[in-house]
Amino acid sequence: MKAQIIKTMYIEAARRIHDARTGRNTYTGNSYRIDVIAEGDVDPNIGWVIDYADIKRFFEPVRRQLDHCCLSNIPALADDASPAALEHWIGEQLRPWPSWFAGVRVSLPASRGFALVHLESEAALGLPDRVAFSFSAAQSLPQLPVGHPCRELHGHTY
């Protein structure tokens, strides 16, 4: 029997944006969702296509390159660090592909921009009507020790 499984991982990364109006570069950042897709015959010994731990181990060298970094500092992503460009770059970095590898999908897990969402009250939890929102930003925390991942420019979706 054939099956497909997806291992989802997240990275936090910044990217450079060129502001055509001012001619200057600015930075933004995001949390990125990365799905590594495996397809193939179900192994009768383990009951699935491949163990999630094996997918994670396969992806780990690429995750280390991307997490808590500025994607624009990677030469192949300097001019385009969009999810589509990142997806292509990741696929190339994972070569040679094992037989189970069916692709990678990159997305931003939250909406872009500042959008308020009304949340109804929840009496059982003692919560009034409220609003929720998310935003994305680049940051670095230079006061942290050298080697700490948050010391370098990176991004988050809050």
Q: What structural domains and CATH numbers belong to the chain?
A: 2-157 (3.30.479.10)
In three-state secondary structure terms, 5 is strand
Kindly state the tokens that stand for 125.
């939890």
d(CA 91, CA 80): 16
Q: What angle is formed at CA 100 by the lines to CA 45 and CA 55, rounded to 5 degrees?
A: 80
Check: CB of residue 109 under 8 Å from CB of residue 33: yes
Residue 133 has pLDDT above 90, yes or no: no
CA dist 124 → 104, 128, 129, 130 (Å)? 41, 10, 13, 15
Check: CB of residue 75 under 8 Å from CB of residue 84: no
d(CA 137, CA 158): 8
pTM of this prediction? 0.82
Task: Give the pLDDT score at 111.
Answer: 61
Task: Give the pLDDT score at 14.
Answer: 95
Residue 156 has pLDDT above 90, yes or no: no
Task: Give the pLDDT score at 104.
Answer: 98
Nearest to 26 by CA among 155, 131, 157: 155
CA dist 113 → 11, 17, 28 (Å)? 19, 15, 11
Write the pLDDT tens digit of every residue in 23-56.
Answer: 998 999 999 999 999 999 998 888 889 999 999 9
State the pairing for strand pair 24-41/154-157.
unpaired
